[in-house]
Structure 1
């Protein structure tokens, strides 16, 4: 799809969302679904090569994720709907495949790219005293930013997530991630794949700086001091953003729990 067509799609989708969220007209919702079916087809094409499921079945499952994304998307936040919707679509398909007994594996090419990215991040931090952004990483790896984001998400989904990392610095008021996840069945030392996807969907709604800090603390298990050193900011700034981000994350996840 050309850049112009992508921009037209983004603008048309946003316009439809603004009308749909004011009126609740299901005809507008159906137009949004039709307009963004390409996102579902792309995910279905990716996964059909890793299983024995029918392509059309995967499209139908992906559409369920697309509808969930439509119901949760807030057009006033300025995010692109495509970026918001892909984790929902992918998560729905992955959940379906796991229920069918498939083991979701990371392709060899992505494993190689992941190793290259790790080395690139280390060298970049040494040179510039900060972590590279997604655009800089994709350029260094000579791949599109979309592919890099898929690689990154695949690795994030594979890694166990610690729920016992301390959130606040207050000695008398320490909060762990498990304290903000509403369902008691989540209270274990690792978060299962479906719940990681749910958490990542909530993280995707945060602004970039706050989201990156939470990812360092919870997805990569860094301390707040290590996170501050990685990002070239103060520990106080990290602490404030973690507190702010968790308040927003808690609100989002509690809303989705009901």
Structure 2
């Protein structure tokens, strides 16, 4: 399908030049029919991989792809409508994060439909949302399951013993160590939590805490740099496995903040070639970081 034909496809499209001559201008991408969205998505993905990140053209293409494919998020979110927790708007918002990840990682050379590629990302993000938000604090899956086993064993033993079982008795019933039972009991405390708006309760509350001071007032603020540090620690060993030219390209692009055109001029290659090299390098690094996770 040519770009001219694309300009006439789908609701909300107009026969106007968009930010780039090779892409149609879509006035309301969210109203494009799913069938037309599949056709237009291939056109936008084909162009996106040639555009330089951070440019208006790249931003337009990426944002349009997100809006055109929001129907995939709504479709996936509908499967979780009766889960009993989580507002539907929150579920759609979380699913949109999965859609964005899929768009950033999709490669036309895979020769698969974007819908088939994107839905697992969307559903996975929504499932992760339900898993993490059903607990007051994040607890590893192993301990979440152990909490259920301990509760069942405690109830069964209490009937025969006419009292609450001890840690040792629970361990024998479940065939695990007493340390594991204790760990599971402690983890169970994370299922519910007290309000941070409760008054701070300390032995010296009158002296240390002014009237009206809550637990939230005593908490430190999150450090936005911590996530960056963690990502850098994960990324560092992966960079060692890149060859010299790949490391140089990464340094020029993200260390020196050079544009793809500037990198191309430095290396004596075209901007398009730089774009392809960057895409390949970043895919390699992303795969390595996902394995680490």
TM-score by length of 2: 0.34
The TM-score normalised by the length of structure 1 is 0.38
Between the two structures, name the one with larger relative contact order (CA 8 Å, sep ≥ 6). Answer: 1
The structure richer in helix per residue is 1
